[in-house]
Chains A and B, each alone.
Chain A
Amino acid sequence: MAIAATQAEPATEALLYKGNEALGEAAVRAGCRFFFGYPITPQSELPAYMARRLPEVGGVYLQAESEVAAINMVLGASAAGVRVMTSSSGPGFSLKQEGISYLVGCELPAVLVNIMRGGPGLGNILPSQADYFQATKGGGHGDYRLIVLAPAGVQELADLTGLAFDLADVYRNPVIVLGDGLLGQMMEPVRFPALRPAPDPPDWALTGARGRPRRLITSIHLAAEALEAHNQRLQAKFARMAERETRWEAVETEGARLVVVAYGTASRIARAAVELAREEGLPVGLLRPITLWPFPAKPLAELAGGDAARFLAVELSAGQMVEDVRLAVAGRAPVEFYGRMGGAVPTPREILEVIRRQLGGDGR
């Protein structure tokens, strides 16, 4: 492979990085050497970073003619057995759905970044979490699941991007890193791990049938029995992912009467609101899903079976994740929702008000 020898780059001290650029550097350090993308705000710093950075490590940045082309370039590169990434935002990510379904059907790993913006349609370029359904319920055709990682800060953007490449390879399934315009644009200190070399192509990659039988990567299985068997195998894989890869953070949930559930940018605001509430002596905690799929249903169910009398989902949407919270809580406690849309971001005080209302009366 035409990968230039690169001097080992060690782990870094804390550096001030923009979220989108931290994501790019983390990908490079995870051994990603190929990036195919298309410009769209608010993720444009990521491809721009990759265009500068990848040639330094012998990699390739290529700007595609569309998001449709970009995701299929990812498919081709992944079939060749390299670590590869693409990124977009809402409208562009919608265009990638066909290719994502094929990646899953073909069992090809890749890391896909959606820095969400306001929709539907062209919407705007402000932060939003309205692509939750698309990311977690299978935005394309067919029965499938992807691990969806939801970072809540620049360090976590970097950490979860590295993890995303490893999980994609372990399960031979694409992984989504789901950020939003605020995370992508914010600057925070971040420490990067040491640069990892690009891994050798795995034993299923298309490298030319030299000294071995030919390999075929496809998602077509014409006979009903064959396609059902393929789907059963995929479902077993998704079940393993759900079993092993569920991640979340619990903040002061022990003994909390009200548990706020929020991810990504909304969780940063919710965390501040929870801190304010606790200063007032309100028994409030925060559960922050880090994987949106698999969703941390079990810890939520345990809280519902314990001290938590109410749940409050806070999202930058009309209420999408709240459906998964309700499924997890399964009627054992009321689940309320508070959200803002279109790029509007609530203040901690705004959420504190909702918390107070929720706990009024029997809450304390």
Chain B
Amino acid sequence: MSVTTKEKVLARRPDSLAPAVTHYCPGCGHGVLHRLVAEVIDELGIAERTVGVASVGCSVFAYDYFDLDFVQVPHGRAPAAATGLKRARPDLVVFTYQGDGDMAAIGTAEIIHAAVRGERFTAVMYNNSIYGMTGGQMSPTTLPGMVTDTTPAGRDPAEIGYPFLVAETLAAQPGAVYVARTRLGDMASIVKTRRALLRAFKAQLDGEGFSMVEVLGSCPVNWGMSPSEANAFVAREMVRHFPLGVFRDGPATPPAVAEADGGGGRGTGGNVSAARGTGAQRPAQEGTGRGDA
């Protein structure tokens, strides 16, 4: 490094990010999301007590890219392993890093029940609507009409259903205290994602309950787009199916209590009772909402 003490550092690799060159394809957002997680861990000064749980998928090698203690676990089971870690050592800060296939298909039970129990770890999800590692098959979050290896004519919702709304599902569980969906691409969206991650890790540090950030990102290679086109697709198309926003930000609260006190008496209860009152999650949306929402 030629950085001298006389210079003010504006931007540099966070300490919690190992110097390894990643295996990710050019333009893939995993690299950005790794960096944001590492930045947040550095900012909170928790690297020395943080343990990451790596999933299976493109992010299977996350453990090589963070300068943190890490365990690599079976496909979809990261939330269960994180539960065991955190229960065994509540003084640790524990996070999972999972893709949409890992979290929303094979690991659906594990992530939902982690939220149900209000497990005090942070789940980070990279949602790019495809199984990237295995070469581009349909995932539970593949958009209607999207062509993949296993939906050669495009995903037909009449045949195989609609994209799975993970953040909304988890936010509906009383054990969740912070659930947000953000996206990558432009600078402002990346900064918002960083802010959401910071809030999620803080929720864990405060022992409040389960926290999760679903981050929409691209897969240029398997989508058959340039990195720039892929980012534009996230901003234009993905957000139509996956509304951005904070779906839950408040203490873990049984729904009955939320109804009874009408959102009063809890600092951030407004979001919670708004979401519950309508029976559907209607966050303050940042992106374009679903047409029918």
Please give the residue numbers on chain A whose beta carbons come within 8 Å of chain B beta carbons, in ascending order. Answer: 1-2, 34, 36, 60, 62, 64-66, 68-70, 72-82, 84, 98-99, 102, 106, 206-211, 214-220
Contact = CB atoms under 8 A, between A and B. Distances in A.
A209 B77 contact: no
Interface string B138-156: 0000000000000000000
Contact of A214 (B69, B84, B110): B69
B81 A73 contact: yes
A60 B87 CA distance: 7
A82 B80 CA distance: 16
Interface in B40-94: 47-51, 53-54, 60, 63, 66-74, 77, 80-93
A78 B84 contact: yes
Nearest to B66: A214
16 contacts: A2-B91, A34-B87, A68-B110, A69-B77, A72-B77, A73-B81, A75-B74, A77-B87, A80-B51, A82-B89, A106-B72, A206-B71, A207-B69, A207-B89, A209-B47, A216-B70
Nearest to A2: B90
A62 B84 CA distance: 9
A106 B72 CA distance: 9
A198 B200 CA distance: 32
Contacts of B117: 62
Contacts of A220: 60, 72
B80 A77 contact: no
A102 B71 CA distance: 11
Contacts of B84: 34, 36, 72-80, 84
B67 to A, nearest CB: 6
A70 B112 CA distance: 14
Contacts of B93: 208
Nearest to B60: A220
A210 B50 CA distance: 9
Nearest to B85: A76
A7 to B, nearest CB: 23
A77 B84 CA distance: 4
A208 B71 contact: no
B240 interface: no
A66 B81 CA distance: 13
A206 B82 contact: no
B109 interface: yes
Given A73-B87, A209-B67, A217-B70, 15 more contacts: A60-B87, A68-B77, A68-B109, A69-B80, A73-B81, A75-B73, A75-B74, A76-B73, A79-B51, A80-B84, A208-B47, A214-B66, A216-B70, A218-B71, A220-B72
